[in-house]
């Protein structure tokens, strides 16, 4: 297995826990400069040690970045990594010759045509 696939696998594994998924969604919605841990804890409502564990999992999977500002830790989404996951999921969507009913096309908004596309919008 190549490193890229292993990285995607680790990121999906990290996202497989509902609390981590909720944390990531909160961070994605947060301020460009990062969301303070205290704010995350206030919204998610779990003990600090448990939150720390979940944030560490997200950081180790390169889904979030952490920066210290004095005594405050701020987390922000690693949008390049998240985009890589999305691209991985969609990369074979519009290959030429796909005729399955589930294959996206211009009518579903995924691909501009039923031929291989270089760019596509996501539903």
21-47 pLDDT, tens digit each: 999 999 999 998 999 999 999 999 999
Could you tell me which residue, 80 or 119, shows the higher pLDDT? Answer: 80
Q: So what's the pLDDT on residue 30?
A: 93
Enumerate the CATH 1.10.10.10 domain ranges in the chain, comma separated. 3-81
Confidence of residue 122 (pLDDT cuts 50, 70, 90): very low
Per-residue pLDDT of 68-113, as tens digits, reads 999 999 999 999 999 999 988 887 776 655 555 555 655 555 655 4
The backbone torsions φ and ψ at residue 75, rounded to the nearest 5 degrees and listed phi first, read: -110, 135
- The confidence band for 66, taking pLDDT boundaries of 50, 70 and 90, is very high
Q: CATH: 1.10.3720.10, 3.90.1170.50, 3.40.640.10, 1.10.10.10. Which one for 3-81?
A: 1.10.10.10
Average pLDDT rounded to a whole number, residues 60-64: 96
């Amino acid at each position: 297995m190549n490193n890229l696939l292993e990285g995607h696998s680790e990121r999906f594994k990290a996202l497989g826990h509902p609390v981590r998924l909720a944390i990531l969604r909160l961070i994605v919605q947060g301020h460009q400069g990062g969301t303070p841990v205290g704010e995350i804890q206030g919204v998610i409502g779990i003990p600090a040690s448990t939150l720390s564990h979940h944030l560490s999992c997200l950081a180790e999977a390169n889904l979030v970045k952490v920066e210290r500002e004095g005594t405050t830790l701020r987390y922000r989404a690693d949008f390049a990594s998240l985009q890589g996951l999305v691209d991985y999921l969609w990369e074979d969507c519009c290959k030429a010759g796909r005729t399955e009913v589930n294959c996206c096309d211009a009518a579903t908004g995924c691909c501009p045509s039923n031929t291989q596309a270089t760019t596509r919008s996501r539903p």
